[in-house]
Amino acid sequence: MFKYFLVNKAGTPLDVQVGLADHQTLMVESHRVLDAHWKSSPITTATTTTIITSRPNESVMLTDLVVILSKKVAASTIVVRFNDGTNTAILFTFDSTVDSFFFSHAFQGGIRSWKNANFQIVTDQATTVTVFVGYVHISEDATKSYAVWNAER
């Protein structure tokens, strides 16, 4: 049991609730959960699809990614990338000539982009792919330029 309690700057106590073992538990949650957003997009043509557009001077952090290819296409490639109009970083390249597939991953550490980089899917053939992505916006103060981001990765 807590003999003390934590307060924020305004003096309001932080959230303490009775836990599973009938003890008081400080309730905390990550920004990945509190500030989470998601988008999905079905793609059926050869195109570049911007799924997440970063806010001006900010970046995004990917938390989850699901790619479902329901129809294989000869000589077809699906590219998952960040792009700001000048710089590009390819995260994954899927060869969809073999068979349909399902890819799912929760990025435990998150995958961050750089300032003004968007999350895109590039398909080079007409195909049937659906992409689902979970993400969090990163504030301007915590966002890195491409040069810094590229040097640290």
Q: Residue 1: is its pLDDT beyond 60?
A: no
> Is 118 part of any domain?
yes
> Is 91 part of any domain?
yes
pLDDT top residue among 97 and 92: 92
> Is 22 part of any domain?
no
> Is 57 part of any domain?
yes
Please, what is the average pLDDT of the chain? 88
> Is 53 part of any domain?
yes
Q: Write down the pTM of the prediction.
A: 0.81
Q: Residue 116: is its pLDDT beyond 90?
A: yes
Distance of CA 87 to the CA centre of its chain: 18
- Residue 110's region, left for phi above 0, alpha for psi from -120 to 50, else beta, is left
Mean pLDDT for 80-98 is 92
What is the number of domains present in the chain? 1
Q: Residue 5: is its pLDDT beyond 70?
A: no
> Is 6 part of any domain?
no
Mean pLDDT for 80-109 is 90
For residue 122, give its domain range.
37-152
The CATH number covering residue 86 comes to 2.60.120.1010
> Is 121 part of any domain?
yes
pLDDT in tens, 26-78: 777 777 777 889 999 999 999 999 999 999 999 999 999 999 988 777 778 89
> Is 2 part of any domain?
no
Mean pLDDT for 76-96 is 94
User: What's the confidence (pLDDT) of residue 108?
Assistant: 83
Written as one string, the DSSP assignment of the chain is --SS--B-TTSPBP-EEE-TTSSEEE----HHHHT-EEEEEEE-SSEEEEEEPPPTT-EEEEEEEEEEEEE--TT-EEEEEEE-SS-EEEEEEEETTS--EEEEEEEEEEEE--TTPEEEEEESS--EEEEEEEEEEE-GGG---HHHHHHH-
